């Protein structure tokens, strides 16, 4: 969905900003917010570009650097922590060949922490994009990842965010890959 189609769904009111940013980020193939999106959102809401950038930078849930096609978030909150979420993270890091906060070389997966995902009774829990997976163990993770590998296609490579370093330099550094 292109930005004009997204914006057409929202009233030009400032309190719509967070919802718009969420939808834009979730819609982009690389799960990030691009500079041209920022400009269009600012115009739609009668805000300055700097005001929108300020909100994007304030919330850690928003990203301006390209991320993977599939965003894996692992709950690190107390219940999942007690249920050995650290072991789940370790297994994911090994299986994907990346560390927490990184994106795989093929741009298929990004691995991130999350606060409570609201499914504590299924701990340990992770989400992949909009779907949740609970009662995790190493075998279950391998099976889930295998499903995504099968779905992988050669098209749909994430687009590179353009010219954002100047606006979001600090945030880009935080996500620098090794
Ligand atoms: S503590 Fe992990 S889902 Fe709630």
Q: Break the chain into its structural domains and give their ranges.
A: 3-65, 70-151
pLDDT of the residue at 2: 87
pLDDT at 176 over 80: no
Q: Residue 139 — very low, low, confident or very high, per pLDDT cuts 50/70/90?
A: very high
Alpha carbon distance 156, 129 (integer Å):
15
- Ligand 1 contact, 80 CB (< 6 A): yes
Is there a contact between 121 and 161 (Cβ–Cβ < 8 Å)?
no
Average pLDDT over residues 132-153: 88
Is there a contact between 161 and 35 (Cβ–Cβ < 8 Å)?
yes
pLDDT of the residue at 152: 61
pLDDT of the residue at 159: 38
Q: Quick one: residue 118, left, alpha or beta (phi over 0 = left, psi -120 to 50 = alpha)? A: left
Best of 76, 85, 119 to mutate for ligand 1, by most ligand atoms within 8 A of CB? Answer: 119
What is the CA(121)–ligand 1 centre distance, in A?
8
pLDDT at 151 over 80: no
Alpha carbon distance 17, 22 (integer Å):
9
What CATH superfamily classification does 3-65 receive?
NADH-quinone oxidoreductase subunit E (1.10.10.1590)
Average pLDDT over residues 125-148: 95
What is the CA(25)–ligand 1 centre distance, in A?
23
- Ligand 1 contact, 114 CB (< 6 A): no
Alpha carbon distance 112, 74 (integer Å):
6
pLDDT digits (tens, 9 = 90+) for 8-55: 999 999 999 999 999 999 999 899 999 999 999 999 999 999 999 999
What is the CA(136)–ligand 1 centre distance, in A?
12
pLDDT digits (tens, 9 = 90+) for 115-133: 999 999 999 999 999 899 9
Higher per-residue pLDDT: 153 or 79? 79
Architecture of the domain defined by 70-151: 3-Layer(aba) Sandwich (3.40)
Q: How far is CA 20 from the centre of its chain?
A: 15
Q: Is the peptide bond before 42 cis (omega within 30 degrees of 0)?
A: no
- Say which residue the tokens 């719509």 belong to: 16
pLDDT at 154 over 70: no
Alpha carbon distance 164, 34 (integer Å):
7
Q: Residue 1 — very low, low, confident or very high, per pLDDT cuts 50/70/90?
A: low
């Amino acid at each position: 969905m292109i930005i004009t189609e997204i914006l057409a769904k929202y009233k030009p009111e400032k309190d719509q900003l967070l919802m718009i940013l969420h939808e834009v980020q979730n819609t982009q193939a690389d799960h990030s917010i691009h500079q041209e999106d920022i400009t269009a959102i600012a115009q739609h809401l009668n805000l300055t570009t700097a005001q929108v950038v300020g909100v994007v930078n304030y919330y850690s849930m928003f990203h301006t650097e390209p991320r993977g096609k599939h965003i894996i978030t692992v709950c690190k909150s107390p219940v999942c922590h007690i249920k050995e979420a650290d072991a789940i993270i370790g297994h994911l890091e090994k299986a994907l060949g990346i560390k927490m906060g990184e994106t795989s070389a093929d741009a298929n997966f990004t691995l991130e922490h999350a606060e409570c995902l609201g499914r504590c009774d299924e701990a340990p829990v992770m989400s992949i994009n909009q779907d949740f997976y609970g009662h995790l163990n190493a075998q279950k993770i391998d099976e889930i990842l295998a499903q995504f590998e099968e779905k992988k296609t050669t098209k749909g490579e994430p687009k590179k965010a353009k010219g954002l370093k100047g606006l979001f330099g600090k945030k880009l550094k935080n996500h620098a890959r090794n």
